[in-house]
Structure 1
């Protein structure tokens, strides 16, 4: 689907949401600092912006399950997918401001959608609660029987036969931005195909619908270890300490990096006391829960890591500034 068609769809979603959402346009919850004291006293709805089976979904569901123990109320995950997370972000950014609806997403989508013009907003349209984890790194992967042994092989092959190599991305997000960087900064000439989120990109590659793609290591691990896929490198800005044998693409091509972090947001205007309480609860889970530590080390191949509200805002701004350097190529 072309970006301009996605933008029309998102506009329609925004209009429909404003007509039906109880919190749209309301100031309810924007004030009243005492609300945090009794929060939460009912279940919390966690909207996950990407599909079941992907890394964003896995991390969000793990956090939701452990937050229940911390907050004393169920945290119920619901996937609202499409347009690289923009459907959910558009739908819920102006939703109820009482703290009982929160959004779990990844920063590459949240920031990337603004840089590409898929969305006309970014993190500033929400109340950031926390960045609570790092991705293992989008791995540039090919099938194991492909002729490409490293990233340079893949790039050079695309230059020799422009448009012949199909590269699967999620339009508007970090992997799409990486494909643009490969084109404009490196000279790679792929046939870029929108194959959806991480789970769908993996399926498309395994099924032979694309020749290469970017997939989080956590999702590709079993296929790499079983010999079905080959990793040509990660899109991390530096090698993962837990995966030292996988190179970073930026070691060969310095501009080629997209760090993906997991984030939780609340609709704009949510009571600051509620946001702070949620942030502290997430921080406690990440820093103190041994089950969480074991799971993220196994799944993300990263140590537990969480940022405060202000640190989260600063990191989101840093990522947005990085992506906007390529804005003229993305729209």
Structure 2
């Protein structure tokens, strides 16, 4: 019995020493930040703003790699298979949680594959339409889609995209099933909305603010609890009577499961430095967003958000019956 206790104590001391050494040595070289979407897109912009400051804090380059494909699950799978040493991290939006239900088969277990660094930011969403769409305001829109549901099209950026999830929530809350039109990205979806090929689109402020301000699309409502500063004249859906229509494109930073806590602590400190950086704050404001609070920018804050969002979206996705292979 004494021998077993000594052996257990020795093993614990060894593990603690290994963790300490790995934290002291980290990072050993450039850190790869996986981004599941194309360069220049909203998530990529957020990632590069954060990486710019993190590499100063870590003393090594933070290289953003756009690992696109399979609705973001390709990058998630790569992270799940990576060595848990902090040298590979992932910056992903809320799609990492909706994919847990949306995809029938994944190459990883979304409930056990990841470790958590912290939340980053939340980008607001809003519902827009082609500029000559008949309904003049949100109340008229709700009446119109109920009377013309077979004729109204709702664009999205593809299966698993936030615009897809936002559209599913809108249809569930209104009780109206519209014709959904998937695109290969928000860019072409917005282009066809502006051109009048599709009627409606739920998009991030990062992509929709410009077209709204130049009257290339019509804004009906924001999917937020409060009005957003960059578009103060656009009311929230809740103000107009549609309760529960709230979708924010929140972003989080992840590591492979099993990454030592001291390494995560170093990454978290670098992330928080980025979120307090004046240039980051300024650029986020231009995109219609802001850094999350210090409490949210923690491993515990992200972990709680992650599992709450899986539970939130699972029944909505199942009710819609829209799955991805």
User: For the superposition of Structure 1 and Structure 2, which TM-score range results when normalised by the shorter chain?
Assistant: 0.7 to 0.9
Q: Give me the whole-angstrom Cα distance separating, in 1, the residues matched to 2:138 and 2:111.
A: 32
**8 Å Cα contact 2:125-2:203 kept in structure 1:** yes
Instruction: After TM superposition, give the deviation of residue 299 of structure 1 in Å.
Output: 1.4
TM-score by length of 1: 0.82
Instruction: After TM superposition, give the deviation of residue 207 of structure 1 in Å.
Output: 4.1
- Return closer, same or farther for 1:173/1:329 CA change in 2, 3 Å cut-off: farther
Q: Does 1:50 align with 2:37?
A: yes
The residue number in structure 2 matching 1:133 is: 121
- Return closer, same or farther for 1:173/1:115 CA change in 2, 3 Å cut-off: farther
Secondary structure at the aligned position of 1:50 is classed as coil
The residue number in structure 2 matching 1:222 is: 210
Alignment coverage as a number of residue pairs? 298
C-alpha RMSD of matched pairs (Å): 2.2
TM-score by length of 2: 0.83
Instruction: After TM superposition, give the deviation of residue 279 of structure 1 in Å.
Output: 0.8
| Higher CA-based Rg | 2
Query: 1:1-44: CA deviations, max 9, x gaps?
Result: xxxxxxxxxxxxxxxxxxxxxxxxxxxxxx63421112113111
Instruction: After TM superposition, give the deviation of residue 265 of structure 1 in Å.
Output: 0.8
The residue number in structure 2 matching 1:192 is: 180
Alignment of 1:1-331 (within 5 A): 32-107=19-94, 109-117=95-103, 120=106, 121-122=109-110, 124-135=112-123, 137-169=124-156, 170-240=158-228, 243-251=231-239, 252-287=241-276, 289-302=277-290, 305-306=293-294, 307-331=297-321
Instruction: After TM superposition, give the deviation of residue 62 of structure 1 in Å.
Output: 0.9
- Return closer, same or farther for 1:311/1:217 CA change in 2, 3 Å cut-off: same
Secondary structure at the aligned position of 1:65 is classed as helix
Q: Give me the whole-angstrom Cα distance separating, in 1, the residues matched to 2:192 and 2:80.
A: 31
Q: Give me the whole-angstrom Cα distance separating, in 2, the residues matched to 1:61 and 1:53.
A: 10
- Return closer, same or farther for 1:305/1:246 CA change in 2, 3 Å cut-off: farther
Q: Runs of 5+ in structure 1 lacking a partner?
A: 1-30
**8 Å Cα contact 2:84-2:258 kept in structure 1:** yes
Q: Give me the whole-angstrom Cα distance separating, in 2, the residues matched to 1:60 and 1:329.
A: 33
**8 Å Cα contact 1:127-1:269 kept in structure 2:** yes
Secondary structure at the aligned position of 1:53 is classed as coil
Instruction: After TM superposition, give the deviation of residue 286 of structure 1 in Å.
Output: 0.7
Query: 1:182-203: CA deviations, max 9, x gaps?
Result: 3333122311111143334323
**8 Å Cα contact 1:129-1:266 kept in structure 2:** yes
Q: Runs of 5+ in structure 2 lacking a partner?
A: 1-17
Query: 1:48-101: CA deviations, max 9, x gaps?
Result: 112223211110111112212221111111112233312221233222222111
- Return closer, same or farther for 1:124/1:194 CA change in 2, 3 Å cut-off: farther
Instruction: After TM superposition, give the deviation of residue 303 of structure 1 in Å.
Output: 5.3
**8 Å Cα contact 2:275-2:291 kept in structure 1:** no
